[in-house]
Structure 1
Amino acid sequence: MPPTAKPPVTGVLHSWDLSTGVDGPGTRFVAFLAGCPLRCLYCHNPDTRPMRHGRPCTADEIVREAAKYTAFIHASGGGATISGGEPLLQPALTGELLHRLKHDLGLHTALDTSGFLGARATDALLADTDLVLLDIKSWDHALYRHLTGQRLAPTLDFARRLADLGTEVWVRFVLVPHLTDLAANVEGVAAFAASLGNVTRVDVLPFHKLGAPKWRALGLDFPLADTPAPTPAQVAEARSVFAAHGLHAV
């Protein structure tokens, strides 16, 4: 008897895009999966949080789309990134995509995650991940809960697991005036990141309000509407804290 065909791996896709510089090295095919368990006060894509805002799709569809751009991606030294929402909310689809993008298309792979659902990432999924873009939103546990509605501990556990595996990590830290910019908070994230030994870059991302229209379109009040963006001097100061710990901060 012929072998039974493997059923397609399915999930919910919000959108995809080609990006340069912000989702990993080089030009990248980025698949934004729908759904996120965090409710970040500064979320700039609140439309990706509910699963219902995506569309059903198969891994085959996404890989076929990425394949159209492989020559361009390879020429730029880029790859593919699975983002969201939170891609580990859909671990089967995420794992299948990382495997096929890496092995079928020969692309450098990145996983963009908060780490909150890191326990859902299998060893096989992480073996197919060349780089993790890890959002560490705060070092203070109470502040993390205030910012996201969730606990910080799972993210720290996932970070330590990645360090044990030797997986390359870029830490992402959003600098929000009067919230995440407190000296002890920045110092805490920097010291932790430096202790891991596998963090090759830290992106200090200035808070902005570009997502505010999306909140309004969803009938939601943007919680940080009155919060100013950090000044260039404040961003430079935060980067200097990470640099003082021997980290490459941009």
Structure 2
Amino acid sequence: MALAYVHSYETFGSVDGPGVRFVLFLQGCKMRCQYCHNPDTWKLGIGEQKSAREILDFALRYRSYWGDEGGITVSGGEPLLQMDFLLEFFKMAKAEGVHTTIDTSGWPFTHKEPFFSQFEELMRYTDLVMLDLKHIDEVKHRELTKQSNASILDCARYLDEIGKDVWIRHVLVPQHTDDDGALQRLSDFIATLHNVRRVEVLPYHSFGMYKWQELGLKYDLTDINPPTQERVINAEKILKVGSYH
């Protein structure tokens, strides 16, 4: 029995997949995104420990609110860093007929074992992957997150290969991720995928800045304001938001 390191729950999530959802936020992430609004989820091996059965029983108490489209989303942190738990949890959820979604950066993805075989199996119990594509440019991605985007793009290609439904998310950060050229390159990459059902542009906000300060971390985007509506619309046009089904 695998135990999860849990950061928190949201019982009536409306932005983390289709319909109303129970959202489980797992603890631990190896990305260091400059705009992260939950840096308190970074540290590995801490948090409340819960079994898959405990969490599923708790989630199912809210099932009557999910309707036909809702279900369970596992987010983070980075859920793929707790693969043993995630696989057990989604097997149980699918046995109950629950719609399952993973919200992931895709960064832990690799074709190496034992991860790849576990990921293959996990996808059999996953209905939807919400994949965060933070920057298409490798150098800029490293500057923004401290990690390469190679495994993330590889994950996107693999999900396309197996025909897994994907929603792609892109956080629009002025001076960092809203360059028209980079957005066009990202759009061109998305266009090579045949499994994308939705693209979302998420405007940057600084709501999580206080968490950085509370944790004694230096927040490098203090001089960055949220993108204007004009820039959001521009990004949505380039990324063809609304054209995927």
Same fold at TM > 0.5: yes
1:3 alignment counterpart: none
Q: Which residue of 1 aligns with 2:119?
A: 122
Q: Which moved more, 1:215-224 or 1:50-59?
A: 50-59
The one of 45, 54, 57 equivalent to 1:64 is: 57
Instruction: Decide which of 207, 210, 217 is 2:207's aligned counterpart.
Output: 210
Picking from 168, 176, 193, the partner of 1:179 is: 176
Question: C-alpha separation between the residues in 2 aligned to 1:234 and 1:118?
Answer: 31
Letter in 2 for 1:94: L
Cα deviations by residue, 1:175-210 (Å, 9 ceiling, x for unpaired): 111111111111111111121111111110000001
Q: For this pair of structures, how many residues does the alignment match?
A: 239
Which of residues 55, 74, 77 is equivalent to 1:82?
A: 74
User: What are the equivalent positions in structure 2 for 1:97-136 lying under 5 Å apart?
Assistant: 97-103=89-95, 105-119=96-110, 120=115, 121-136=118-133
**CA deviations over 1:113-146 (Å, ceiling 9, x no partner):** 0001123352110111110000000011000000
In structure 1, how many angstroms separate the alpha carbons of the residues matched to 2:46 and 2:220? 21
The alignment status of 1:247 with 2:243, answered yes or no, reads yes
The Cα RMSD (Å) is 1.6
Q: Secondary structure at the match of 2:167?
A: strand
Check whether the contact 2:13–2:22 (CA below 8 A) recurs between aligned residues. no
Moved segments of 4+, more than 3 Å: 246-249
Opposite residue 224 of structure 2, the aligned amino acid is T
1:204-246: CA deviation from partner (whole Å, max 9, x where unpaired) = 00000010111111111211111111000100000001128x8
Superposition deviation, residue 55 in structure 1: 1.5
Any conservation in 1 of the 2:102–2:128 contact (CA below 8 Å)? Answer: yes
Q: Contact between 2:13 and 2:23, CA under 8 Å: does it hold in 1? A: no
Give a deviation string over 1:85-107, Cα, whole Å, max 9, x none. 0001110111111221122x211
CA distance in 1, matches of 2:14, 2:195: 20
Give 2:76's aligned amino acid. G
**Do 1:199 and 1:247's aligned partners in 2 also have CA atoms closer than 8 Å?**
no
Q: Distance in 2 between matches of 1:228 and 1:184?
A: 21
TM-score, normalising length from structure 2?
0.93
Q: 1:170 aligns with which of 151, 167, 170?
A: 167
Distance change in 2, residues 1:195/1:19 (3 Å): farther
User: What is aligned with 2:188?
Assistant: 191
**Secondary structure of the residue that 1:230 maps to in structure 2?**
coil
Structure 1 segments unaligned to the other structure (5+ residues): 1-7
Give the SS at the match of 2:192.
Answer: helix
Query: Taking structure 1 as reference, are residues 209 and 53 closer, same or farther at Cα in structure 2, changes over 3 Å only?
Result: farther
Amino acid in structure 1 at the alignment position of 2:84? A
Structure 1 window deviating more from structure 2 (220-229 vs 37-46): it is 220-229
Given the superposition, is the C-alpha separation of residues 53 and 231 from structure 1 closer, same or farther in structure 2, using an over 3 Å criterion? farther
Which residue, 15, 18, 22 being the options, matches 2:8?
15
What residue in structure 1 maps to residue 234 of structure 2?
237
Structure 1 letter corresponding to 2:177: T
Query: What SS is found at the alignment partner of 1:125?
Result: helix
Give 3-state SS (helix, strand or coil) of 1:61's partner. helix
